[in-house]
Amino acid sequence: MTWRSHNQIGGAGRGGGVRTQTKASSSHGHIPPPPSKRAPRPPPPPLRCSAPPVAQVRRRLDRGSSVRALPPVSTIDATDFSILSEEHTPSVTSSFLEKKSKHETRNLNMSSTIGGSLSVEFGCLRKHEVRRLSTRQGSGRMLSIRASVVSSPDTLELSKANAKQAEKMVRVGVLGASGYTGAEIVRLLANHPHFGITLMTADRKAGQSIGSVFPHLITQDLPNMVAVKDADFSNVDAVFCCLPHGTTQEIIKGLPKGLKIVDLSADFRLRDINEYEEWYGLPHKAPELQKEAVYGLTEVLRGEIQNARLVANPGCYPTSIQLPLIPLIKAHLIELRNIIIDAKSGVSGAGRGAKEAHLYTEIAEGLHSYGITKHRHVPEIEQGLSDASNSKITVSFTPHLMPMSRGMQSTIYVEMAPGVNTDDLYEHLNNTYQAEEFVRLLEKGVVPHTRHVRGSNYCLMNVFQDRIPGRAIIISVIDNLVKGASGQALQNLNLMMGFPEDTGLQYQPLFP
């Protein structure tokens, strides 16, 4: 028997190889010795991330060269990986060898009471990531693995109770799947290890598949969309409600009480019913739910969101504005008066409905303001900032529609408190968000661009000194469909269901 090395990812010369056992053939039936003059092949370099982690793992498993027999190992290095479950195998212990950096390969040895031991090499398994993987050794065997970084070596033992709880698949319904935010939810859930879509509604597209409406989603095997009135919620644990303002209230009121709900409309964002009715021009039909709803600005209200049944997902403009301003207001670093916000959004922020103002010939090669002094996000912005200051705050807010499909930038002008400079603002924002995955302060002087967050759940921001003494300029950018809508909604449902909030959201921005 000889060992042969295979390059697994990216072709020859890229990435590392996995050794697989193969028989050497010869016409005389014996194993020929290696050539005496050939220099030994150097060991392959560590595997680097050149594709999404799960794609790397699946590719290795599909090619059948990542499983080989090894003796069991009982020690663990400083990187701790716990096996959540191994179907058809009643007892599992595991350990990792040769701890390397977070973006290199790790070798997992699993000894079980059935089928001996397995070794599977993984590329780029992220911290806190849970993946469900199939192997080629044994029929129908499934492994589920969670990764986490620990500070000291330890021993792994499988907890059956924890494994069962962690492996529970959350059945998700998407109400309004034929709109932009609904389609974005479906796209994001394709990479989620714990959430599976069991229900999709779209009244005008009832009976159609999601792939017939959005061809970019045709690769997913999902149920056909149905009308809301025909929806069966008996097979649903959680719901994303992506319906228009005004229609959501009665629908949510009629949902089973045990469901977790994230509402992407504005129906439950404003605590004051009178304020909602004034700004949206609609009577509120579920005031009892208004009292129950928790506002879902994840990085600010994480603790309340975790225990909520109903979360009101923030609007896109309020998300991009509140994330930089709330920490500064709480720290008394800026004045509460004369806050001016100049915000710009891609056309998808206006929804998918057919409107003359959103025709290509009306939008292209131009820029226009809308909702001047009366945009519906104004009371939501002022509510969040007032909560941070414990006093009433009003802002000057003017939104603009840009000739681009997605993206949002808020340019915010503030007066700094006496004795405060832009370095103080920068340092406080840096301290506030340095541990956050999805809110990033750029290096000083770097200007955030909307293309830097396209297709991702990130919010990028920075602070600049104004020419006017005592004033600062804050620039914040998000993707209005992700962090401004569906991505933050998924972030919130992760928290509500007890999963790490970045699960299924590790998408890097698209560029260019």
Give me the active site residues, please.
Answer: 316
The closest alpha carbon to 407, from 262, 509, 497, 501, belongs to 509
What letter would DSSP give residue 432? H
Q: Are 86 and 118 in contact (CB under 8 A)?
A: no
Rounded to whole angstroms, how far apart are CA atoms 88 and 433? Answer: 43
Segments of 301-458 assigned E as strands: 310-312, 339-345, 368-369, 395-401, 408-415, 439-441
Q: How far apart are CA 458 and CA 461, in angstroms?
A: 10
Q: Which is it for strands 459-465 and 439-441: parallel, antiparallel or unpaired? A: parallel
* Rounded Cα gap, residues 385 and 407, in angstroms: 23
Residue 355 exposed, middle or buried by CB count within 10 Å (0-12, 13-18, 19+): exposed
Using CB atoms within 10 A of its CB, is residue 177 exposed (0-12), middle (13-18) or buried (19+)? buried
Q: Which amino acid is at 391?
A: S
Q: What angle do CA 261, 309, 191 make, to 5 degrees?
A: 50
Give Cα separations from 438 to 386, 411, 496, 501 (angstroms). 24, 19, 18, 10
Residue length, the chain? 512
Report residue 465 CA to chain centroid gap: 32
CB 173 within 8 Å of CB 233:
yes
Other beta carbons within 10 angstroms of residue 19's beta carbon come to: 15
- The answer to whether the Cα torsion of 261, 408, 359, 350 is positive or negative is positive
In single-letter form, the type of residue at position 155 comes to T
Residue 220, by phi and psi: left (phi above 0), alpha (psi -120 to 50) or beta? Answer: beta
Report DSSP state, residue 446: P
Helix (H, G, I), strand (E, B) or coil at 67: strand
> Which one-letter DSSP state was computed for residue 334?
B
At 488, list the tokens. 């933050």
